[in-house]
């Protein structure tokens, strides 16, 4: 019998399985997937002060998380992390970089970084929870 288990933290074995299966399914459908996770870390004096994570696959780069420690905000660290990720993937065959953010988070920041809003999913109860879908084409 199949059992389903909730996992909060995934180990390397699970990440490898996800990568392998994404790529196998794409190959079966004659599409190049090349699914890979990434992270760029900002440090000051060997202390992590910010991080950007995501995945690249098919023809796009998806940003999952961009975090800067509160005391390091407004020092352009987030912009530098975003720029680093963009420059890393530019001219490597990807068409766009995309992400989602909520109204209370950073839609204005991403617009300043050159992203365009593709869609906003409105939250019926709390506009701070409107979800913004943004894209920037290379």
Positive or negative: CA dihedral 56, 61, 63, 64: negative
**Nearest 5°: phi and psi at 18?**
-60, -50
Cβ contacts of 91 within 8 Å, gap of 6 or more: 138
What is the pTM assigned to this prediction? 0.85
pLDDT at 15: 84
pLDDT at 22: 85
* pLDDT number for residue 41: 98
- For the four alpha carbons of 122, 128, 133 and 138, in that order, the dihedral sign comes to positive
Domain residue extents for the chain? 12-137
CATH architecture, range 12-137: 3-Layer(aba) Sandwich (3.40)
Specify which of 5-9, 19-23, 64-68 reaches the highest per-range mean pLDDT: 64-68
pLDDT at residue 23 greater than cutoff 90: no
Residue 35, pLDDT score:
84
pLDDT averaged over every residue in the chain: 95
CA distance 74 to 77: 7
Residue 80 has pLDDT above 90, yes or no: yes
Q: How confident is the model at residue 34 (pLDDT cuts 50, 70, 90)?
A: confident
What is the percent of the chain where pLDDT is above 90? Answer: 85
> Residue 36: pLDDT above 90?
no
Q: How many CB atoms lie within 10 A of CB 103?
A: 17
Q: For residue 54, what pLDDT is reported?
A: 97
């Amino acid at each position: 019998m199949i059992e389903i288990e909730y996992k909060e933290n995934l180990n390397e074995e699970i990440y490898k399985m996800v990568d392998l299966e994404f790529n196998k399914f794409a190959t079966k459908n004659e599409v190049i997937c090349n699914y890979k996770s990434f992270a760029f870390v900002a440090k000051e004096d060997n202390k992590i002060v910010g991080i950007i994570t995501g995945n690249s696959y098919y023809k796009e780069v998806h940003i999952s998380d961009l975090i800067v420690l509160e005391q390091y905000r407004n020092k352009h660290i987030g912009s530098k992390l975003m720029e680093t990720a963009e420059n890393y993937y530019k001219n490597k065959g990807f068409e766009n970089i995309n992400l989602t953010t909520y109204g209370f988070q950073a839609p204005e920041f991403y617009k300043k970084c050159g992203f365009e809003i593709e869609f906003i999913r409105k939250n019926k109860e709390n506009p701070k929870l409107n979800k913004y879908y943004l894209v920037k084409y290379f």
